Chains A and B, each alone.
Chain A
Amino acid sequence: MLDQVTNQSTSTPVATATSKLVVEQVSKWFRTPHATVHALDNVSMQVAAGEVVCVVGPSGCGKSTLLDIIAGLTKPDAGHVLADGQPVTGPGRQSLVVFQEPSLFPWLNVFGNVMFGLRLCPELSNGERREIAHRYLALVGLEKFERAHVHELSGGMKQRVALARALAPDPQVLLMDEPFGALDAMTREHLYDDIQRIWSASRKTIVFVTHNMREAACLGDRVLLMSKAPGRIVQHFEIPLPRPRSIYDAELIGHAGRVADALRGTIGGGVTE
Chain B
Amino acid sequence: MKRFAIVSGFLVMLLVGWELASESGRWSPVLFPSVLSVARYLWGAMMDGTLFEAIRVTMQRLLVGYAIGVAVGLPLGVLTSSSQLLEDTIGSLALGLQTLPSVCWVPFAVLWFGQTEGAMLFVVVMGTVWSVIIATNHGVRTIPPIYARAARTMGSRGIHLWTMVMLPASLPFLVSGMKQGWAFAWRSLMAAEIFVTILTGFGLGQLLHYGRELNAMDQVIGAMVVIVLIGLLADRILFAPWERFLHRRWGTNVR
| Alpha-carbon separation in the docked complex, A117 to B164 (Å) | 11
Q: Which residues of B contact A71 (CB under 8 A)?
A: 153
Question: A87 at the A/B interface (Cβ < 8 Å)?
Answer: no
In the complex the two chains form, what is the Cα distance from A117 to B152 in whole Å?
10
Q: How many CB-defined contacts (below 8 Å) exist between A and B? A: 69
Q: Which chain A positions have C-beta within 8 A of B171?
A: 107
Which one of B40-48, B181-189, B245-253 is at the interface? B245-253
User: Closest CB of chain A to B40's CB: distance in Å?
Assistant: 50
Q: How far is the CA of A152 from the CA of B249 in the complex (A)?
A: 9
Counting CB contacts under 8 A, is A14 at the interface?
no
Known A-B contacts A103-B146, A107-B249, A151-B250; A97 and B153 likewise in contact (beta carbons under 8 Å): yes
Residue B165 at the A interface, CB < 8 A? yes
Chain B nearest CB: distance from A239 CB in Å? 27
Instruction: Please tell me if B63 contacts chain A, counting CB pairs below 8 Å.
Output: no
Interface size range on B against A: 20 to 34
B165 adjacent to A95 (CB under 8 Å): no
Central interface residue in A95, A106, A152, by most chain B CB within 10 Å: A106
Task: Choose from A93, A101, A149 the contact partner of B146 (Cβ within 8 Å).
Answer: A101
A128 CB, nearest partner CB in chain B, Å: 17
Do A103 and B149 touch across chains, with their CB atoms under 8 A apart? yes
Does A103 contact B147, Cβ atoms closer than 8 Å? Answer: yes
Q: Mark A107-133, 1 if CB is under 8 A from B, else 0.
A: 110000000110011000000000000
B150 on the A face (CB < 8 A): yes
B180 in contact (CB, < 8 A): no
Q: Is the CB of B249 within 8 A of A116?
A: no
Q: Are A105 and B248 also in contact (CB < 8 A) when A99-B149, A120-B155 are?
A: no
Q: Which of A138-175 contact B (CB under 8 A)?
A: 149-152, 165, 169
Contact B147 A120 (CB under 8 A): no
B146 touches A92 (CB 8 A): no
Contact code string B152-168 (vs A, CB < 8 Å = 1, else 0): 11111000100011001
**Chain B residues packing against A (C-beta within 8 Å):** 144, 146-147, 149-156, 160, 164-165, 168-169, 171, 248-252
| Residues of A participating in the B interface, judged by any CB pair closer than 8 Å | 71-73, 90-93, 95-97, 99, 101-103, 105-108, 116-117, 120-121, 149-152, 165, 169
The 4 residue pairs across chains A and B that have the minimum distance between CB atoms? A151-B251, A117-B154, A107-B168, A103-B150
